[in-house]
Amino acid sequence: MLGMFLAALDQTIVATSIRTIGDDLHGLSLQAWVTTAYLLTATISTPLYGKLSDIYGRKPLYLISISIFVVGSLLAGTADSMYQLAVYRGVQGLGAGGLMALAITILGDLVAPRERARYQGYFLAVFGTASVLGPVVGGFFAGAETILGITGWRWVFLINVPIGILAIIVVARVLHLPPLKRVDHKIDYPGALALVVALVPLLVVAEQGRIWGWDSPRSIGCYVVGVLGVAAFILAERYAKADAILPLYLFRNRTFSVGAAANTVIGLGMFGGLATLPLYLQIVKGQSPTEAGLSLIPFTLGIMTGSIVAGQTTSRTGRYKAFPVIGTVLMGLGALFFSRVQADTSMPYVFAVSILFGLGLGFTMQPLVLAVQNAVHVRDMGVATSSSLFFRQMGGTLGTAVFLSVLFSTVGPNIAAAFRTASTTPEFQAAVADPAVAADPANAPVLGMLNGGGTVPSLDDSSFINNLDPRLAQPFLDGFAQSVDTVLLLAAFIMVFGVILTVMLPELPLRNVSGIQGRFDDDAAAATGTTAAGTTAVGGVTAVVADEAAVARVHDERAPSGHPGTGAAPG
């Protein structure tokens, strides 16, 4: 739970402070590099943690991930430029890839799927608390000039250091997992390298395409290298077989393959909303970082409510498919309603849509992971869980890069169009002719632009908008709100595919034994070559044979052809 607290806190604490960080380091439009670098390394490292934990155990990998995250946090707190911050956030991401994935995998080891919802309440309390505290604390740090002689926003990263050290001490002392039968495996270095070659150029062009030109030689070069990397990754995984960091035989499992696609789409939509909403609140609504953090509490309450309802209902009924379907519908509606916001949209409307969007996200997050964990062989628990989160992260990484690129590539033309519209109104004309407005140096960049002496001021430092005469600032607010609408309309369109995929998700009976017990049962069955009378081993699960055909279908789903499963296959 301490590792999950770190992961959840870091997901939200940066969002409300990124504007202050970008303004202070003179590079707000470069924020996508900072976000993408973190998500990129977290995305690549997530399946590695899952696979290595299946081989070497969860605890040592968990300690390594927390340690790397703490080092990256310390470095990020010393950054002097946005590019430097992006590099240090990349180091953070290398550790963060294991925080959430291994926490969920350890829970899967200890608790059976049918009972897991009861224990998820503790995890959800931690996740919800961190998600509520993150925006508020991030806003507080960003709004403070200095704390203990250090610039306020740097504490957004430095706060992770004492929490991380505490997590290392507690995990080392009290997390006791029983040793399991050791199986020798090779580490899939070629697959890891190919994954880097595949993802890095594609994500770089997603971020820089608007500057380079989508059909420029550099963009085309990134496309080519990325496609070659994907091909090399598939070949490497095919060669590695069971040792692969992302075993291809898992895709023959329908639940895993549909879940992977659904997680990718949900990541796209989720991070599209999370990346733009704090910017809208601070730039368009004029909120301070702390106020923006408090304004995100309804979003978090929606996530917590959806997660608790889905978890408790699944625990009682054993049914989970309805929640991802309903959740993706609510996320799509939330994004669609968000795409209607304007500069003068009331905050109650924003709060209501935030709850709706958060509720949808809460309905989808845990049930999709649970479905994948329940559908695969217990010895693949780590790699399947981390792969499920990998696809969500990959969607989020791509979504953040693309959506922020769309945002900042459209905001300039939208602001220019808003100025043209405003220039015909009496209020704006009165502001331009007002001697008091002309005498204020804060208005000089805009007046110079209007008089033909300049262009639209750069949003790399957007703090100048707060100092403008409200009549001159209004076109900036209208233009930025219009760009946010474009991004969230795109997110709503993407969520349509999420609905289709979750409808296709199979629903299997939930297992009644934990991952650890399932592996012990497997080892015992393999040692004796038999199973208990009247039972059959179904992907590591001892199930009463009441319906032989049903058991066969479950076995085919959980232990697809090509996997070195154990136990007798049902006849």
> What DSSP line would sit under 109-124, residue for residue?
HHS-HHHHHHHHHHHH
Would you state the structure tokens that stand for residue 245, as one six-digit string? 């960091």
Are both 286 and 351 inside the same structural domain? yes
Tell me whether residue 563 is in a domain.
no
Q: What angle do CA 496, 295, 463 make, to 5 degrees?
A: 100
Output 541 or 431, whichever has higher pLDDT.
431
Q: What is the pLDDT of residues 346-398, one digit of tens each?
A: 999 999 998 999 899 888 888 888 888 888 877 777 778 778 878 887 787 77
Contact criterion met (CB below 8 Å) for 88 and 75? yes
Lowest mean pLDDT among 26-30, 229-233, 539-543: 539-543
Output 512 or 67, whichever has higher pLDDT.
67
SS3 state at 75: helix
What is the pLDDT at residue 65? Answer: 94
CA 285, CA 290: separation in Å to the nearest integer? 13
Which amino acid, 543? A
Q: CA nearest 262: which of 370, 334, 401, 355? A: 370
Are both 177 and 324 inside the same structural domain? yes
Burial class of residue 40 (count of CB atoms within 10 Å of its CB; 0-12, 13-18, 19+): buried
Burial class of residue 196 (count of CB atoms within 10 Å of its CB; 0-12, 13-18, 19+): middle
Are both 164 and 305 inside the same structural domain? yes
What is the pLDDT at residue 526? Answer: 65
Contact criterion met (CB below 8 Å) for 102 and 53? yes
For residue 161, give the CATH number of its domain. Answer: 1.20.1250.20
Would you state the structure tokens that stand for residue 337, as one six-digit string? 């309603």
Residue by residue, what is the 3-state secondary structure of 128-191? HHHHHHHHHHHHHHHHCCEECCEEHHHHHHHCHHHHHHHHHHHHHHHCCCCCCCCCCCCCCHHH
Are both 372 and 315 inside the same structural domain? yes
The residues with which 543 forms a beta bridge, in sequence order, are 536
Q: What angle do CA 37, 43, 46 make, to 5 degrees?
A: 135
Output 466 or 190, whichever has higher pLDDT.
190
For residue 512, pLDDT over 70 is answered with no
Tell me whether residue 394 is in a domain.
yes
Residue by residue, what is the 3-state secondary structure of 301-344? HHHHHHHHHHHHHHHHHCCCCHHHHHHHHHHHHHHHHHCCCCCC
CA 418, CA 532: separation in Å to the nearest integer? 74
pLDDT tier at 182, thresholds 50, 70, 90: low
Tell me whether residue 337 is in a domain.
yes
Are both 489 and 527 inside the same structural domain? no
Tell me whether residue 538 is in a domain.
yes
CA 208 to chain centre: 21
Are both 492 and 522 inside the same structural domain? no
Tell me whether residue 99 is in a domain.
yes
What is the pLDDT at residue 199? Answer: 81
Are both 406 and 520 inside the same structural domain? no
Sign of CA dihedral 75, 76, 77, 82: positive
Would you state the structure tokens that stand for residue 273, as one six-digit string? 């909303």
HSE-CB of 444 using CA atoms within 13 angstroms: 4
Structural domain range at position 527: 515-558
Measured torsion, CA atoms of residues 134, 135, 141, 144, in degrees rounded to the nearest 10: -160
HSE-CB of 307 using CA atoms within 13 angstroms: 25
Are both 361 and 499 inside the same structural domain? yes
CA 491, CA 276: separation in Å to the nearest integer? 11
Are both 495 and 519 inside the same structural domain? no
Tell me whether residue 438 is in a domain.
no
Are both 498 and 546 inside the same structural domain? no
Lowest mean pLDDT among 112-116, 307-311, 351-355: 112-116
For residue 250, pLDDT over 70 is answered with yes
Would you state the structure tokens that stand for residue 57, as one six-digit string? 């155990």
Structural domains in the chain (count): 2
Q: Which helix (H) or strand (E) holds 226?
A: helix 217-240
Tell me whether residue 434 is in a domain.
no
Are both 371 and 252 inside the same structural domain? yes
Total Cβ atoms within 10 A of residue 529: 9
Helices 381-422 and 347-375, axial angle in degrees (round to 10): 160
Residue with tokens 């760009």: 483
Tell me whether residue 209 is in a domain.
no
Q: What is the pLDDT of residues 448-484, one digit of tens each?
A: 777 765 565 666 666 677 778 888 888 888 888 898 8
CA 201, CA 219: separation in Å to the nearest integer? 9
Helices 2-13 and 58-76, axial angle in degrees (round to 10): 30
pLDDT tier at 514, thresholds 50, 70, 90: low
What is the pLDDT at residue 456? Answer: 59
Contact criterion met (CB below 8 Å) for 484 and 276? yes
pTM of the predicted structure, to 2 decimals: 0.76
pLDDT tier at 545, thresholds 50, 70, 90: very low
Are both 402 and 534 inside the same structural domain? no
What is the residue-averaged pLDDT of the chain?
A: 79
Lowest mean pLDDT among 24-33, 199-208, 283-292, 321-330: 24-33
